[in-house]
Structure 1
């Protein structure tokens, strides 16, 4: 190793959502250039799964956590190597009514989109999970707010929970839709949920693009249901 080379340091990047925890190992340097070392892995957020996952982690590697799950937060064992990310940790100007209430998941996704987008272009970031967020990032890289709607699973559960005859569908029933024209109750629900979420995202994107026109706008999609 020569005098000018610096060994990258390692960290664990953790995203705690409402239904699952996603994590991976990364390296970073003094310029905060980050590189992923492994595939993103998923862990359920029940107490047993969280405990088993934490027991498998190396204690000496710093862990950065962005979470929207308060129950899971209370079960995570923290130490001097764990940092819970707050809104002030994200390098964004947050132009909404209550900046301190914006979820860390939305800000983490917006930070990535702001860094990846082309200069002088706006960006839309869709994060699809239990909830789906559709947010706008300005050409200057500022978080401008957005919309929150139910995800595929949440919408399907809501129909089953709030009606007496409609059945509960599995996530696969909704995301592996064969046709928009339902031929039975189950496929009609699947079509409504599937295209309700996608149609909502599409409509919001069109409205955002119209608001920022003629500035070009890029689209970024992430989350557990991003490619459903």
Structure 2
């Protein structure tokens, strides 16, 4: 069976095709679709419609998203048009080896739940700290038993830098992460570099504190849209896993 895996975040939709006879090592590369806002519909799904037309072997869709009811209704309608079963993954108190720490488990972002599922199955005998660096940066702690300890949320790189520009009423400045320098030589470079090193320092400090509080060695896992940039400035003990959400969706597909 060929499954279309979808990860719809705040700024971009990622997708991959998964065949349950394919091993994880042969997992396909992710593709991305940029969002197009259309009135009350948070995402124009024309690109996804094209994907379904180009891959007639798709037999079902497994998705995770953070875009609310309008997007889910649009996705359901698209799936029905193509006569495809659709599973939208939700956070739950306990499932797929994970016990969520939130007092109201359904309020944990579904993408964070899927990332925890992936981490637990990639590193089944190890405690983990999962960092998803996108529009927001989430940091979740997970014991080897699958017990989620809770987590933190920070502004992402572009959010923090843009907030500074807006607060300073410096609309003539544009964010840039093209030339990151510890000793920046102009304001634009200073904001971009400051955002990067500020977030790197925060991640290093928070993960160290979490590891100390958990009382066991941890595997630090880095994913999300800005993870490729951040990994250049983080230590070697951060494992870069750009397909973490897709791997979590793969696990959920296999176990559902």
* TM-score (normalizing by structure 1): 0.83
Gaps of 5+ in 2: 38-42, 230-256
SS in 2 for 1:186: helix
Is the Cα–Cα contact under 8 Å of residues 157 and 168 in structure 1 kept in the other structure?
Answer: no
Which residue number corresponds to residue 49 of structure 2? 54
Q: Give the Cα separation in 1 of the matches to 2:170 and 2:72.
A: 36
Whether 2:45 is the aligned partner of 1:41: answer no
Alpha-carbon separation, structure 2, partners of 1:186 and 1:108? 36
In structure 2, relative to structure 1, the CA distance for the partners of 1:38 and 1:216 (3 Å cut) is same
- Between 1:144-153 and 1:47-56, the stretch displaced more is 47-56
Change (3 A) 1:85 1:180: same
Q: Deviations over 1:52-72 (max 9, x none)?
A: 322331465211110012254
Partner of residue 99, structure 2: 93
Structure with the larger RCO, 1 or 2 (CA within 8 Å, 6+ apart): 2
Structure 2 residue matching 1:199: 3-state secondary structure: helix
Aligned residue pairs, count: 213
Which consecutive residues of structure 1, in runs of 5 or more, have no partner in the other structure?
A: 1-8
User: In 1, distance between residues paired with 2:15 and 2:112?
Assistant: 16
Aligned residue in 1 for 2:88: 84
Aligned partner of 1:197 in structure 2 is 199
* Distance in 2 (alpha carbons) for counterparts of 1:43 and 1:195: 29
Could you tell me which of 152, 162, 167 is aligned with 1:162? 167
Matches within 5 A, 1:64-143: 64-70=62-68, 72-76=71-75, 77-79=78-80, 80-88=84-92, 90-91=95-96, 92-119=98-125, 121-143=126-148
1:27–1:34 CA contact under 8 A, matched in 2: no
Mapping 1:7-18, distance limit 5 Å = 9-18=1-10
Q: Is the 1:166–1:185 contact (alpha carbons within 8 Å) kept by the matching residues of 2? A: no
Give the deviation of 1:167 after TM superposition: 4.5
CA 1:75–1:153: 2 relative to 1, 3 Å: farther
- Name the CA shift for 1:54/1:37 in 2 (closer, same or farther; >3 Å): farther
Residues 43, 50 of structure 1: 8 Å contact kept: no
What is aligned with 2:158? Answer: 153
Q: CA deviation at 1:169?
A: 3.0
Matched, 1:188 2:190: yes
Residue 38 of structure 1, CA deviation:
2.3
Pick closer, same or farther for the CA change 1:36–1:44 going to 2, 3 Å.
farther
Q: Which has the higher helix share?
A: 2
Query: CA RMSD, aligned part only?
Result: 2.4
| CA displacement, residues 170-199 of structure 1 (integer Å, 9 cap, x when unaligned) | 4xx22x333112221111111221112111
